[in-house]
Structure 1
Amino acid sequence: MPEAAKLKARLREEIWRELDARKIATPRPCRGRIPIFAGARVASMKVVKKSFFLDAETVYSTLDAPLQPLREEALQRGKRLVMMVPGFRGFVIVDGSSVPKGALRAAASPRGSLVYGSRVRVLEGVEVDLFLAGSLAVDKRGGRLGRGDGQQDLEYAVLRELGAVDDSTPVLTLVHDVQVVAQVPMEIHDVPADYIATPSELLKAEGGYRKPRGIVWDMIDSAAVEKYPLLKLLAGLG
C-alpha cells in the first residue's frame, strides 16, 4: 500500500474513534461512514447567506448525510439540485421551485429525490455552480478525506468529464470541528475543498491543492468500468 494510502487509512480510524468517543455522530459506531454530526444544520446556516450559495442556480451534492440540511436549503430557495443515482447509474435533477413545501426534506434525500426529481443518463448543457462534497476529515488548506471508497472524488471527476464543473466551480464541505485536522494526505485524484463549514465557523480554504481535471483512468480497474454505467459510457464502451 502506498504511503499516502496508509496515512489516510490511519487518519480515518482516528476520526471515527473520535466521533464515537465524543458521541457527536450518528449512527454509532460510525466506522465506514461519513456520518451525520451534531450541528450539521448549524454549519449549513453559515453557508446560506454567502454569495457563492445565494448566486448558485444549480447545486450538485454527493449523497452524504451531513449535506442533507444544505440540500434542503437549496431546494427551499428554488435552486436546481443535482445528485448521482447510486451506482453511477445516471443523475437525478430536482427543481426546487416545483417541490411542495412539505416535501423539501424528502426531495432532498437520495431516495426521495428519485420521486420528486427527473432522472437523466448524462448531464447535457448543465453547468454546476456549487459542488457539495461529503468529507470525513479536512485540513485548512482544503485537503479532504472521504470514507475510503473514492465515491465523492469520482463523482466530481465524472462531472469534469461531462463539462459540468471546472476549476472555478467552488467545492464546499460540511464537517464537525473535530474533523478539521492538521493535514490530509492528498493524491492526484483527490478533490480539495474551497470552503469548509463547521458548527463554529465558515473557513475559506488556504489553497495549494489542484483540482483533478477528470477521471484518472489509470486508477480505475476494468471491473469498476463494467459495474458502473456512467464509467462505461465515458470509457466509450456504453
Structure 2
Amino acid sequence: MSDIDEAKQAVRDRVWRRLIAGGGAPDDSYGKIPGFYGNDRAAERLAGLDLWQRAATVKANPDWAQLPVRIRALEDGKLLYMAVPRMASMEPFYEIDPNTLTVSAEEAADKRGAAQVARRLGVGTMRPVDVVVCGSVAVNRSGVRIGKGAGYSDLEVALLIEAGLVTDDTVIVAPVHGLQVVDEDIPETEHDFSVDVIVTPDEVILCTGRRRPRGLVWSDLTAEKIAAIPVLAARQASRRRS
C-alpha cells in the first residue's frame, strides 16, 4: 500500500468511526459506502436544485445510500444509469427508462430489481450524462472525495469521460451525511475525480476545486483489476494490438 493509499485509509477510518459513533449511520457501516440516516432528505434537497431539474439523464451508484436519489430520478422522468455490480460485464451499465417501466420506481431503482428489469449496455449506446451521483465515504468542502477503496466509481467516470458522455457540463454530486464532510485535506491521485456539489440532509455545499481525469489511467490499474473487468481487459488487448 502506497503512502497515499495509507493516508486515504486513515481518513476513511476516522470518518466511519465518527459517523457510527455520532449516530449518522448503522453500526455495520464500517468498510462500506455508508447508508447514512437522512438519505431521503438529502435526495429531496438535491431534487430541489436547478441542476437536477434541468437534468434528463442521471448516473448513480447502486449503493443503498443513493437509493432515494435513484427512485426520485425515475419518479421525475429521468433516464437512469447504474453500474453492473463490479462492472463484471462487457456491457457494464444498466439503463432504466422511466417511460417503459413495468414495475414500481422503488423496485426498479433497487440493485436487485435493476438486474431483473434494466437493459444492459456499453458506453457506445449510452446518452450523455447530465448528473453523476457518486457514493462516498468522505468528502471535503473543496470537493475532494474518497469511496471505500475499491475504485469502481473512478473507473466508471473515467470510461464515461473517454466516451464523451461525462463532459464539463456534467455535474458530479455527492449525497452524504454531514458527519462525512471533513475540513481536512484528502490526498488525491491522478485517477481521482472531485465532486461539484455536496448534498447532506441539512445543506448544499458548492465546491470550487473541480478535478477530473482525462480518462482511464492505465498505470494505476493492476493486472488483477484489469482481468476482473471485461471491458478493461478488452481495451487492454486492443491497445496492445494497435
Asked if TM exceeds 0.5, the reply is yes
TM-score by length of 1: 0.93
Partner of residue 82, structure 2: 83
Relative to structure 2, which stretch is displaced further, 12-21 or 113-122?
A: 113-122
Q: Does 1:20 align with 2:20?
A: yes
Query: Are the aligned partners of 1:75 and 1:99 in contact in 2 as well (CA < 8 Å)?
Result: no
Task: State the secondary structure of the residue aligned to 1:193.
Answer: coil
Provide, for residues 183-224 of structure 1, a one-character-per-residue CA deviation record: whole Å limited to 9, x for no partner. 22222111100010001101111x224211111000111222
Partner of residue 152, structure 2: 151
Partner of residue 234, structure 2: 233
The 1-side partners of 2:196 and 2:235 are apart by 27
Partner of residue 52, structure 1: 51
Partner of residue 113, structure 2: 112
Provide, for residues 104-158 of structure 1, a one-character-per-residue CA deviation record: whole Å limited to 9, x for no partner. 1110111211222211244425211111100101001100011111121111111
The 2-side partners of 1:234 and 1:56 are apart by 30
The 2-side partners of 1:19 and 1:208 are apart by 25
Partner of residue 164, structure 1: 165
Query: Are the aligned partners of 2:65 and 2:135 in contact in 1 as well (CA < 8 Å)?
Result: yes
Partner of residue 97, structure 1: 99
Letter in 1 for 2:127: V
The 2-side partners of 1:122 and 1:210 are apart by 22
Q: Cα offset for 1:237? A: 4.5
Partner of residue 136, structure 1: 137
Q: Cα offset for 1:161? A: 2.1
Task: State the secondary structure of the residue aligned to 1:211.
Answer: coil
Q: Percent identity?
A: 34
Query: Are the aligned partners of 2:175 and 2:199 in contact in 1 as well (CA < 8 Å)?
Result: yes
Query: Are the aligned partners of 1:123 and 1:164 in contact in 2 as well (CA < 8 Å)?
Result: no
Q: 1:62 to 1:123 in 2, by over 3 A?
A: farther
The 2-side partners of 1:69 and 1:34 are apart by 15
Partner of residue 126, structure 1: 127
Task: State the secondary structure of the residue aligned to 2:85.
Answer: coil
The 1-side partners of 2:235 and 2:204 are apart by 35
TM-score by length of 2: 0.91
The 2-side partners of 1:77 and 1:31 are apart by 32
The 1-side partners of 2:139 and 2:126 are apart by 31
Task: State the secondary structure of the residue aligned to 2:47.
Answer: coil
Task: State the secondary structure of the residue aligned to 1:106.
Answer: helix
Q: Does 1:8 align with 2:8?
A: yes
The 2-side partners of 1:171 and 1:2 are apart by 27
Task: State the secondary structure of the residue aligned to 1:46.
Answer: helix
Please state which structure has a larger fraction of its residues in helix: 2
The 2-side partners of 1:11 and 1:38 are apart by 20
The 2-side partners of 1:58 and 1:72 are apart by 13
Task: State the secondary structure of the residue aligned to 1:131.
Answer: strand
Partner of residue 35, structure 2: 36
Q: 1:196 to 1:223 in 2, by over 3 A?
A: same
Partner of residue 224, structure 1: 225
| CA root-mean-square deviation | 1.7
Q: Cα offset for 1:97? A: 2.0
Letter in 2 for 1:6: E
Letter in 1 for 2:145: R
The 2-side partners of 1:190 and 1:122 are apart by 20
Letter in 2 for 1:34: I
